[in-house]
């Protein structure tokens, strides 16, 4: 049974060595419409549990073999916070990881639990999902176990942000006609404004999903990025980004990057060649600064 995988280069978090905390089967408290894994009965605990020693032994071997890693990514066939020894595991990883950062990719369902908040606060980068802030839409897209409530999750995220010193990323995955309506985006914006994550990863389906659902277009993602206001948003969609590059004057570039930090990929997609050269000059002059959040570079006007 392979517990570590990679390293794989990730645009979102750099060179990542994955650790699977549910290697035997899918064990998740969500059954998302867009999941890349086959649908499975939701659960609030793991039945099949991999021992910590087994994980650490394999991780030690992988770390000896693979240098130049950015992150050790705790993930799972399902939800990694269901792993019952997560707290102890993080302590053990901290002893062997050296300079490599730890990252967890969680659906956020357990974040209102103080013990989980304390455990996750020991991780360098925490990525939690927030697909929909409306209760009805949340149940429709994430199909959560039992009475898991989106208001509790949002509240947990707000509380977590207060105690967390690392880099906090919220991932939003948008599905056509499910969580992309005006009301959904308004509720999402209100929740994100309260949570104040360091970065938001905004994406849509780009791998075959568990259920018959469709992605939204790149243009719509960009529109929603604008609707969400002045937040550092990283559009993660891998679908071809066919938008027409435009000319921006120096003042327009400064104003655009004052309104909202943009990633280099956004800039390359939006600005034509002349504007990109102006942009580079502004960076050289220090009028535009680079801010790296969990390995993704954002540019903003001073």
Supply the DSSP symbol for 295. T
Q: Is 31 in the site for ligand SF4 (CB under 6 A)?
A: yes
Q: Which is nearer to ligand SF4, 29 or 256 (CB)?
A: 29
Instruction: Identify which of 53, 55, 209 has the alpha carbon closest to the alpha carbon of residue 142.
Output: 209
What is the nearest approach in angstroms of ligand SF4 to the Cβ of residue 196? 23
Helix-helix angle 150-163:135-142, to 10 degrees: 90
Q: By CB under 6 A, how many residues form the interface with ligand SF4?
A: 9
Segment contacting ligand SF4 by CB under 6 A, of 30-38, 45-53, 213-221, 246-254: 30-38
Among 4, 14, 55, 79, binds ligand SF4 (CB under 6 A): 79
CA 48 to chain centre: 26
CA 214 to chain centre: 20
Q: Is 28 in the site for ligand SF4 (CB under 6 A)?
A: yes
Q: Is 78 in the site for ligand SF4 (CB under 6 A)?
A: yes
What is the nearest approach in angstroms of ligand SF4 to the Cβ of residue 191? 18
Provide the phi-psi class of 68: left if phi over 0, else alpha when psi is between -120 and 50, else beta.
left
Q: Is 32 in the site for ligand SF4 (CB under 6 A)?
A: yes
Q: What gap in Å lies between CA 112 and CA 106, rounded to an integer?
A: 13
Q: What gap in Å lies between CA 221 and CA 219, rounded to an integer?
A: 5
Segment contacting ligand SF4 by CB under 6 A, of 24-32, 55-63, 114-122, 242-250: 24-32
User: What residues line the site for ligand SF4 (CB under 6 A)?
Assistant: 28, 30-32, 35, 37, 78-79, 107
């Amino acid at each position: 049974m392979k517990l570590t995988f990679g390293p794989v280069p990730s645009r979102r978090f750099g060179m990542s060595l994955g650790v699977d905390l549910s290697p035997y089967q899918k064990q998740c408290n969500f059954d998302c419409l867009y999941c890349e894994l086959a649908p499975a009965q939701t659960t609030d605990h793991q039945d099949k549990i991999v021992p910590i020693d087994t994980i650490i032994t394999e991780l030690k071997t992988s770390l000896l073999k693979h240098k130049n890693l950015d992150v050790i990514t705790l993930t799972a066939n399902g939800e990694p916070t269901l792993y019952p020894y997560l707290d102890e595991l993080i302590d053990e990883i901290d002893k062997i990881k050296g300079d490599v950062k730890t990252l967890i990719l969680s659906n956020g369902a357990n974040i209102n639990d103080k013990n989980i908040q304390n455990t996750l606060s020991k991780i360098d980068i925490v990525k939690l999902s927030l697909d929909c802030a409306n209760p009805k839409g949340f149940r429709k897209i994430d199909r959560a176990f039992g009475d898991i409530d989106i208001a509790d999750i949002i509240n947990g995220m707000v509380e977590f942000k207060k105690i967390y010193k690392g880099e906090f990323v919220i991932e939003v995955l948008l599905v056509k006609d499910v969580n992309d309506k005006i009301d959904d985006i308004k509720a999402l914006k209100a929740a994100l404004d309260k949570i104040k994550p360091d970065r938001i990863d905004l994406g849509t389906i780009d791998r075959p999903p568990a259920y018959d659902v469709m992605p939204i277009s790149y243009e719509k993602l960009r529109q929603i990025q604008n609707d969400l206001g002045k937040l550092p948003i990283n559009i993660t969609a891998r679908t071809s980004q066919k938008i027409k590059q435009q000319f921006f004057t120096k003042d327009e570039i400064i104003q655009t990057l004052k309104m909202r930090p943009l990633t280099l990929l956004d800039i390359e997609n939006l600005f034509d060649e002349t504007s990109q050269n102006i942009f580079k000059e502004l960076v050289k002059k220090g009028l535009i600064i680079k801010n790296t959040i969990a390995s993704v570079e954002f540019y903003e006007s001073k």
